[in-house]
Structure formats: structure tokens, C-alpha cells
Amino acid sequence: MDKQQFNDEINKIEVPQPDLHMAIKKGISKAQKEKPAIRKIKRFSIPLIASSLVIVFFGSGFVSPQMSRVFADVPIIGKMYSSFNDSVGQNLAASKLVTELNDRAVSNGVGVTVNGVYYDSGRISVTFKVDHLSLQSNDFLYDVKIADGSDKWNRGAQYGGRVTPDGCFGQILIDYPDKSLPEHVTLPLTFTAFNDVKGKWKFDIPIRQLDNKKIHIVQSVQSDDKELKMNFESLTIGKGSATLDYKAIYSLVGKDDMARIDKVTDDKGHKIDVLSSGTEFGRKRVGNSIESEERSIIGKIPENAKYMKIYPHIQYSESFVSHPLEKNSFEMKSKRGDATLKVDQIQQSKRNLIVKYTLDHVDTKHLTFDFQNFGEIMKLTDSAEIGKDRPTIGHFVKGSTIKVLDSDKLQFQASFKLDGEFGIYNFSLEHYSLEAPFSMLLPEKTLPPLTIYLK
């Protein structure tokens, strides 16, 4: 089936823009009323809740109560990993490499038991069960502070909470935020809310990294246009996953581009899962380029693989391109690609601005997205506010309603609503510009694949 034609059919559904904006507004304000405390950026309140922390440990001759042993049989842990589609956890559980804990904390009637931990190739997983929580759906929400709560920990964290017939399971996956991986980590976790129940459930989890092997790599790939170079530095092979570290060097114009790894295969051509690609440790300008230390984490490499192949790609980006509306027809051009937008006609009424335009030099073969969407994201902005992250309310219109005039010739008509709550207070063609998201039309470019020998 042709996706473009399918999309054309679906896109015939008319979108009632004003009603839709209203529905979105209502949804947000309803949620804000319910979760004001949890979503505040700065939290000043320290809940004074008496929490009783009970740690039960299953020692078997170990002296330290912090230590716990690896259980021979971890069916519940296996179930938890499978409910979160965590193949690494499932493999490690099957190989008895998951450390089972039984650390429990209770606050305001809700109990939390941290029951499983692994730390492999730069990724930490903590699983826990929650009891005595009143449930509203198949998922449950929670708020947790990882370590000191700084952004570097939150950036690479993934949170899951699922209600299953076996209980409420939670998993936090954390990509270790620093480039060097310590062997031992004590991870403080403080939960502060489960659904509507606020409280304090505090854990200090001792974590030991599973054995790994580090291979140093000195290989580079570069895009044809020299806009990106990737210097591969090392591969750390853990028990259930592996970490690939590299330096991406972007051009100044491509400061927001993203180097990513698309696919990894073993010597037999079998795919190895890419678990995360593009964890960044900070971009910095060095001379005329932007250097970025980056990391990707992949699944288990088969034991007997002689080599693996890495397929990187780059997603180019550019900021909105703008053009004043003072003429009735003009052309706009992507700064980084060939795409052009030719404005054929502009008609203004009190309530609407109608812009007829044609897209050209667009790679329709490789871009599968809906070209209407490009127009729907165009903006009208007060020329004096171009470049601002957040233009003043009443000085811009974000988004338009698109009518396809000729899908083969990529001719469209955009209708910007000038009046109403989301309109412009005092619109005039002389003072306003059209902004177009050419980023969307930039192709993803593949880089040459790279072979890394493992033996």
C-alpha cells in the first residue's frame, strides 16, 4: 500500500482548529490543577513525613547487611523485565546475574520494595514493587529523585510503572551520566509520590558493575559533505549489553545536528538491538567545530561473533527560515538543503491570511512524512520578534490549516487564523514574516558502515 496515498486519504479529515486548540488547553489546565506540586521545577517544600524504613536482607554468611546474594531462581524478576520489554534484564536474569534485594520502605500506607538491580555497560536498572496503592489505570505514576536530583541523572533516565496481575511493578533505567564507569556505585533513590500519595521512600542501593571487557578502537567515519566526523574510541562489552563510546565532531552550522547509530549487526548479519543512541556528555566549541562526547548502548553481542558492523547516520537540523510578507510573492530556501518554498499568492481578510505556495527540490522519494504537516507547522511572526524562543502572545500565529491544491506539484494553500484567542492583535503585512520549518525537509544521511573486530 502506498503510504503517501493512504496519508492523503486520512488527511482529508478536516481539523476543527479552534475547537482543537480549546480541547488541548482544557487538557493541560485540568492536568495542571492535579499535578502542580510534582511538576514544579524548583521544589522548596520538604515533606515532614515520618517514614519507617525497614531493610530486610537475605544474607548467607555475609557480614555487611548491604550485601545481598544473587538468587538462583528469580521468576518474579524475569516477569518484571518481560513486562517492561527489557531484553537485557531478561538475559541477565536467565544467567542469574541480577542482584536480588529486598529493601522495603513504607510511607503513608504505601509500601515500596526494591527487589532487583543490575549494572551492566553503563546502564543501571532498578526494579521495585509497590503495595497498598489505590489504582486508577494499568499504569501508575511516581516521582523520584535519583542521586542528588541533578539534571545529568534525569536526562538519561527512563521510568516505567505497570499494574500487572502479579502486582504493581516499577523499573527505573539509568544511563550512567559520566563517561568513566566506576565499578561500584551507591545510588540514593528517594521516591516522593506514588499516584496521589505523597511521602518519602528512601533507599541507598549499593550497585556493582558486572564484569566487562574493554576494546580500544581507533576508527573514524566522515559524511561526504564533511559536516560530521565520528571518531570511535572504545567498546565495553558487558554481560548482557555493550557500550560504544565515540566523539562526534559537528560543523558550526550543524551545531544542533544529531549523529546517531541506526543499526548494528554481527558477523552473520543478525541485528543487535540499539538500546540507546546519542547519550551526550556535553557539546563544546573547539575552533571551527562542535565536539561532542557521545555514547550508544547496544544489546548482547553473540559470544562467538568475530566482528560487528555499525551503521551510523546523521539527522541534519536548521532553525526556522523566515521571510517578510511585504511582497505578494517571494521564495524561501533551506539554508542546508535544496528545498525551496515559493509563495505564489497572499490574500488577507480580517480573519484569515491565505498563503498559496509551492514546495520544490524536495526529496519526495525518501521523505515519507506528510508534506501537509510542513505547512501546518509554519508560523506567522512579528518580524521584530523573529529568533525569540517565545514570541509575545498576540504577536504570532503558530500553525495553519492546509488545503492541498495539487499533490503532484506540491502546491498547497495555508490558512492562518488571525482572529480569536490564538490570533494576532494588530496584524499587518509590513510588520510580519512567514516562518518555515525546513528542518523537516532535510534528509537523514547515512554514513559509511564501520566494522569493529572483536577477536
Partner 1 sequence: MDEIKLVKKARKGDDAAFEELIYLHQNQLYRTAYIYVQNKEDALDVVQETVYKAYLSLDQLKNPQYFKTWLIRILIHNANELLRTGKKLIKIKDESKYETSDEPTNKTNQTEQNIDLMAAIQQLDNSYQTVIILYYYHDLSVHQIACHMNVPEGTVKTYLHRARKSLKKLLEGSEQGWINNSLMMR
Find the part of the chain contacting partner 1 (CB under 8 A) among 344-352, 366-374, 406-414, 427-435.
366-374
Query: At its nearest, how many Å lie between partner 1 and the CB of residue 82?
Result: 10
Contacts with partner 1 by CB under 8 A: the residue count is: 60
Q: Does 6 bind partner 1 (CB under 8 A)?
A: yes
**294: β partners:** 246, 280
Query: At its nearest, how many Å lie between partner 1 and the CB of residue 318?
Result: 10
Query: At its nearest, how many Å lie between partner 1 and the CB of residue 244?
Result: 17
Cell of 326: 511585504
Find the part of the chain contacting partner 1 (CB under 8 A) among 134-142, 284-292, 347-355, 412-420.
134-142
Find the part of the chain contacting partner 1 (CB under 8 A) among 4-12, 100-108, 225-233, 235-243.
4-12
Q: Does 262 bind partner 1 (CB under 8 A)?
A: no
Count the residues in the chain: 455
Find the part of the chain contacting partner 1 (CB under 8 A) among 21-29, 106-114, 201-209, 211-219.
21-29
Q: Does 340 bind partner 1 (CB under 8 A)?
A: no
Query: At its nearest, how many Å lie between partner 1 and the CB of residue 329?
Result: 26
Find the part of the chain contacting partner 1 (CB under 8 A) among 104-112, 209-217, 322-330, 363-371.
363-371
Query: At its nearest, how many Å lie between partner 1 and the CB of residue 8?
Result: 10
Identify whether the C-beta of residue 215 lies closer than 8 Å to the C-beta of residue 237: yes
Q: Does 322 bind partner 1 (CB under 8 A)?
A: no
Q: Does 389 bind partner 1 (CB under 8 A)?
A: yes
Q: Does 386 bind partner 1 (CB under 8 A)?
A: no
Query: At its nearest, how many Å lie between partner 1 and the CB of residue 322?
Result: 15
Cα(24)–Cα(74) distance, integer angstroms: 44
Q: Does 390 bind partner 1 (CB under 8 A)?
A: yes
11 vs 251 by CB, closer to partner 1: 11
Cα(339)–Cα(364) distance, integer angstroms: 11
Angle 101-107-110 from CA coordinates, rounded to 5°: 75
Residue 439 C-beta-side C-alpha neighbours within 13 Å: 17
Query: At its nearest, how many Å lie between partner 1 and the CB of residue 342?
Result: 23
Instruction: Quote the distance between the C-alpha of residue 451 and its chain's center.
Output: 27
57 vs 159 by CB, closer to partner 1: 159
Q: Which long-range contacts (CB under 8 A, 24 or more apart) does 18-26 make?
A: 18/417, 18/420, 18/421, 18/422, 21/421, 21/422
Q: Does 15 bind partner 1 (CB under 8 A)?
A: yes
Q: Does 161 bind partner 1 (CB under 8 A)?
A: yes
103 vs 376 by CB, closer to partner 1: 376
* Residue 438 φ then ψ, to 5°: -60, -20
Q: Which amino acid is at 142?
A: Y
Q: Residues near 230 by Cβ (< 8 Å), separated by ≥ 6?
A: 220, 221, 222, 246, 247, 248, 249, 259, 312, 447
Query: At its nearest, how many Å lie between partner 1 and the CB of residue 162?
Result: 10
Q: Does 87 bind partner 1 (CB under 8 A)?
A: no
Cα(156)–Cα(281) distance, integer angstroms: 11
**Residues 416-455 contacting partner 1, CB under 8 A:** 439
Q: Does 159 bind partner 1 (CB under 8 A)?
A: yes
One of 58, 62, 149, 155 touching partner 1 (CB under 8 A): 155
* Residue 355 φ then ψ, to 5°: -120, 115
Q: Provide the phi-psi class of 64: left if phi over 0, else alpha when psi is between -120 and 50, else beta.
A: beta
Q: Within 10 A of 271 (CB to CB), how many other CB atoms are there? A: 11
Identify whether the C-beta of residue 69 lies closer than 8 Å to the C-beta of residue 58: yes
One of 73, 131, 139, 204 touching partner 1 (CB under 8 A): 139
Query: At its nearest, how many Å lie between partner 1 and the CB of residue 137?
Result: 8
Cα(32)–Cα(24) distance, integer angstroms: 12
Residue 285 burial (10 A CB sphere; 0-12, 13-18, 19+): exposed
One of 55, 253, 305, 377 touching partner 1 (CB under 8 A): 377
Find the part of the chain contacting partner 1 (CB under 8 A) among 33-41, 62-70, 72-80, 225-233.
33-41
**Residues 183-222 contacting partner 1, CB under 8 A:** none
Query: At its nearest, how many Å lie between partner 1 and the CB of residue 42?
Result: 9
Cell of 370: 506528510
Identify whether the C-beta of residue 239 lies closer than 8 Å to the C-beta of residue 92: yes
Q: Residues near 269 by Cβ (< 8 Å), separated by ≥ 6?
A: none
Give the binding site for partner 1 (CB under 8 A): 1-3, 5-7, 9-16, 19-21, 23-24, 26-28, 30-32, 34-35, 38-41, 85, 139, 141-143, 151, 154-155, 158-161, 173, 256, 258, 276, 317, 368-370, 372-373, 376-377, 389-390, 398-399, 439
